[in-house]
Structure 1
Amino acid sequence: METSDKRQIPMLLRKVLAVDAYLTDVFVKFIEKLLPFKQLKVHYQLLEVSCHGIPWLGTSLALIWILNSKSLYQMQVNLLIGLLFDTILVAVIKAITRRRRPISNDDLFAIGPDKYSFPSGHSSRAAFIVYFFFYIWSIPLICVPPLLAWSFSVCMSRLLMRRHHILDVLVGVFLGIFEGLIIGYIYLEQETCINLISWITDVNIHTSK
């Protein structure tokens, strides 16, 4: 979404992006005066990894086979579909907008569209996960505060690590909620999920627990 020799960006959009970049810089510098960035950098990096798409997709797939529980298949399959939808949608939008990050990104997994900033994939993923476990497959009430704290911390860490601008994070959150609404609308039934896993693994899962 930022300037490029081959792209003409409307003046209004250019002003919006400039204001967004300025406000992000002011906000981060203010927070850095209150928090010791160097001491918290490790925690920010852990938050980054905790909401990265590759670990989430890999873990979701692995748990389907490790847990091997029919009672969980519906949640696991629909969650996996949502994570895939999020990954594809964010990658497409990033490839179209091509907004550069506030600073050079040294993320180990930063390849392809992920070198771009808009929208924040971590924020969209965190928002989707929160929506999923709040409204689609409800978790126990005791798990709500930690999940909210984690998702908020992930979004804040994207700004404090200068991975994203404020607008990137806000749009990412709204995008994650939108993805949750879509998954809630197309939510696959348990029998469909069981048959899908059975077809993929070529195993008769109906005999599983």
Structure 2
Amino acid sequence: MLQRILRYDVQVTKTFVDLALKTSALRSLRNHAKFLEVSCHGIVWLAGWLSFIWFFNNKDLYQIQVNMLIALILDIVVIAVIKAFVRRRRPIPMNKLMAVGPDKYSFPSGHTSRAVMVAFILMYIDPVSIIFFPPLLAWTTAVAISRVLMERHYILDVLGGAGIGILEGLVMCLIWLSQGTSTSILSTLSDEKLDGGEYHV
């Protein structure tokens, strides 16, 4: 049964990509797929968020800074473990130039899980202004679709990644650290960062 589902997934994905290339909007999305890939890459997010924590010393940001960092680490670990266990091979792209990637396993889509998790946190757990909801949803959707259009993942990989992203968001709901705890963690990690630190100027 599982093999039949996977074969069907391959067929549906190939059909979707073929039809997408005949649709101007989706064809345009594929042209921007590399930018979308970088915009949700795990290393980019982790390095960028650590830089954000270091350069923006604002007590109002401590809670989201610490909790999002935990969420990003959680996502990287969960995706790596599942990929190592499932070991589903990536699609063989028609365009061989798109075959280069960080790893050879396909399920689940880490980019999709990360995008969905970030959107979940910024829209539900620690919501940003509602005016940012539409672009956030558009980015999340574009990242998910682009993974299929780039032939880096099958549709089932993307759906699995989205589901995992939601589950990670729910886990973060349960373990979300308070303002006080977040401040203590940052104080422990860097005495220079917080007001009153030994080297604070």
TM-score normalized by the length of structure 1: 0.87
Going from structure 1 to structure 2, the CA distance change for 1:160 and 1:60 (only over 3 Å counts) comes to same
2:68 matches 1:79: yes
Report what 1:65 is aligned to: 54
Instruction: Give the C-alpha shift of residue 204 in structure 1.
Output: 6.4
Corresponding letter in the other structure for 1:164: H
2:131 matches 1:137: no
Going from structure 1 to structure 2, the CA distance change for 1:204 and 1:39 (only over 3 Å counts) comes to closer
2:177 matches 1:177: no
Q: Which of structure 1's runs of 4+ aligned residues deviate more than 4 A? A: 36-42
Q: Distance in 2 between matches of 1:204 and 1:45?
A: 35
Kindly provide the CA deviation profile for residues 50-77 of structure 1, in whole angstroms up to 9, marking residues without a partner as x: 0000110001100111011111010011
Cα RMSD for the two superposed structures: 1.7
Corresponding letter in the other structure for 1:72: L
- Taking the TM superposition and a 5 Å limit, the aligned residue runs for 1:95-134 are 95-103=84-92, 105-107=99-101, 110=102, 114-134=103-123
One of 146, 157, 160 as aligned partner of 2:146: 157
Corresponding letter in the other structure for 1:152: T
Unaligned 5+ runs, structure 1: 1-11
Instruction: Give the C-alpha shift of residue 182 in structure 1.
Output: 0.3
Q: Is the 8 A contact 2:91 2:153 kept in 1?
A: yes
Report the 3-state secondary structure (helix = DSSP H, G, I; strand = E; otherwise coil) of the residue aligned with 1:188: coil
Q: Distance in 2 between matches of 1:101 and 1:204?
A: 43
Going from structure 1 to structure 2, the CA distance change for 1:96 and 1:199 (only over 3 Å counts) comes to same
Unaligned 5+ runs, structure 2: 94-98
Report what 2:20 is aligned to: 31
- Taking the TM superposition and a 5 Å limit, the aligned residue runs for 1:11-30 are 12-30=1-19
Instruction: Give the C-alpha shift of residue 28 in structure 1.
Output: 0.8
Instruction: Give the C-alpha shift of residue 13 in structure 1.
Output: 0.9
TM-score normalized by the length of structure 2: 0.90
Instruction: Give the C-alpha shift of residue 38 in structure 1.
Output: 7.4
Going from structure 1 to structure 2, the CA distance change for 1:36 and 1:78 (only over 3 Å counts) comes to closer
Instruction: Give the C-alpha shift of residue 125 in structure 1.
Output: 0.4
